[in-house]
Amino acid sequence: MVSCCCARCVSEAGFSWVGWCAGGVTVGAARVTRRGFLLGGAALLALPGTALASTAPEIADCAAWGARPNSRVVNVVTQRPVKILVHHTATPNVTDLSRGAADALARGIQNFHMDRRGWLDSGQHFTISRGGFVLEGRHRSLEALRSGHKQVEGAHCTGQNLVSVGIENEGTYTDTEPTGVLWDRLREMCAYICAQYGIAPTEIYGHRDFKDTLCPGDVLYGMLPRLRGEVGGMLGRRLEGSSVRAASWPVLREADRGPVVRAAQHLLRGAGRTEVAVDGDFSAAMAESVRVFQAEHATEEVNGIIGGETWPLLAAPVRAGDGGEAAEAVETLVATSSTRPPSQVGPVQWQQLLTAAR
């Protein structure tokens, strides 16, 4: 899907896809060089009761991996991002963990983004290979990060490109974990970014939190609470329990079942898709109704997946004593989680109810 930065996330939903690696794009032999390899130094994170240094992992700048020049001027603004977005490339989980493979990955992503999507450069700010190599994605991202007060506008998630740092992680993490070295570099990179910009470790999210996508894969997304906790530990801030498990919009797709699906069916009916049956089964017919709803609301993707863009459109506000489909959805979630219904349900309460019912 367009919202995923490298390969189309619809591959995970069982559809055919053409990503940069599967679409016939040829990447040349890797040029392994130390030129442009940069070491991080230290930064301070201003968090309550802490002021600890975090050292950057070794980061290869765009020149080091042979990037093409950006086709237009990269927009750099004097403002700090407030969150980190974790992605996966949705490409094969390769066994070549070399630096040369990492360089080829970066070039392939850039070629796909510039030649197939018409973007001015790579969409993400940084890329981490399965071999644990960290590379600058979009030009000037490393410069901005080192400054601690500037941000490069990316193209990794519409609506988040000026307020978040996008990190692509090589591979597909729908049903498998990333390599240990990739995980280590992701943790170190997130800690360094948090330190540089004063971002709290709790502000680490997945792509799916904001778009109708399966990115960064069910497994990697499920590891984000661990990531928040480990990043907090690196910065001297102990995080556990609810502090690392952020309430979020769940991703629903065809073949899912249960009370959250039933709640979504009520909300779809309340939004005018009265053909939807309330049976807790995300059928092919329901997926088609979701696509119709997405088309009606001009969402970025019309793919039948209910994620971080479609949920806010469906989740109508509800007050105690209200009737209708939205109120039925609340009752469904409350009955499942054995929680007391709030007197007023807005976006935050919807997320809390949906999270508790999963």
226: number of CA atoms within 13 Å, CB side?
9
Q: Which CATH class is domain 76-244?
A: alpha beta
pLDDT of residue 89: 98
| Digit-coded pLDDT (tens) for 246-273 | 889 999 999 999 999 999 999 999 999 9
| Digit-coded pLDDT (tens) for 133-183 | 999 999 999 999 999 999 999 999 999 999 999 999 999 999 999 999 999
**Residue 142 falls in which region: left (phi positive, over 0), alpha (psi -120 to 50) or beta:** alpha
Distance CA 132, CA 244 (A): 24
- What per-residue string of b and e applies to 109-125 under the rule 16 or more CB within 10 Å gives b? bbbbbbeeeebbbbbbb
User: Is it the case that residue 241 has pLDDT exceeding 60?
Assistant: yes
pLDDT, mean of residues 298-315:
98
User: Is it the case that residue 87 has pLDDT exceeding 90?
Assistant: yes
Distance CA 147, CA 42 (A): 12
- Give the residue extent of every domain in the chain: 76-244, 256-357
Instruction: Please give the biggest Cα pair distance in the chain.
Output: 67
- Asked if residue 216 has a cis previous peptide bond (ω within 30° of 0), the answer is yes
**Token couple for 267:** 């909300």
Tell me the DSSP string of 121-153.
S-SSSEEE-TT--EEE-STTHHHHHHHSS-EE-
| Digit-coded pLDDT (tens) for 48-59 | 333 355 788 999
Distance CA 83, CA 204 (A): 6
pLDDT of residue 267: 98
